[in-house]
Amino acid sequence: MDAVLGELATRGIPWGIVTNKPSWLTDPLLERLPLPAPPACSVSGDTCPERKPHPMPLLHACELVGAEPAATLYVGDAERDMEAGRAAGMTTVCALFGYLLPEDEPRRWPADHYIETPGGLLELPPFRREVSPARC
């Protein structure tokens, strides 16, 4: 994930965190993580009156960053993440790694894209850099 976050920083693409975990767990963890670039926002489960799968926390994150939901990718590893992203009008990306349980069936969740590794995010159309053939 460090390489992905570093690449996003290099390209000037803001990223943020939306979690259902309370801020008393989220904030100290973020302070201790040696992230290559800090998140543009962090929205915890107690930041808004609603939690995922409600879209409110995702929409709040967009407001904090100044991003349009329709131009935002939301990456998650739970069905409620995909539901929240869809309800917020975002493009959803299901991470097939992370906190998945053996009984989870993530390919059945309503995602627009599925990635097997963090680097798979950079292979998606919004991030993919097309290399033009050299001109002679």
Residues in the chain: 136
60, 47 in Cβ contact below 8 A?
Answer: yes
Ranges of each domain in the chain? 2-121
Domain 2-121 has CATH 3.40.50.300: no
Judge if pTM exceeds 0.75.
yes
pLDDT in tens, 77-107: 999 999 999 999 999 999 999 788 889 999 9
Three-state DSSP class for residue 91: strand
Per residue of the chain (136 residues), give pLDDT as tens. Answer: 999 999 999 999 999 999 999 999 999 999 999 999 899 999 999 999 999 999 999 999 999 999 999 999 999 999 999 999 999 999 999 999 978 888 999 999 999 999 999 999 999 987 875 544 444 3
- Per DSSP, 135 falls in state P
- Rounded to whole angstroms, how far apart are CA atoms 73 and 64? 15
What is the distance between the alpha carbons of residues 23 and 129, in angstroms, rounded to a whole number?
Answer: 36
How many other C-beta atoms can be found within 10 angstroms of the C-beta atom of residue 65? Answer: 15
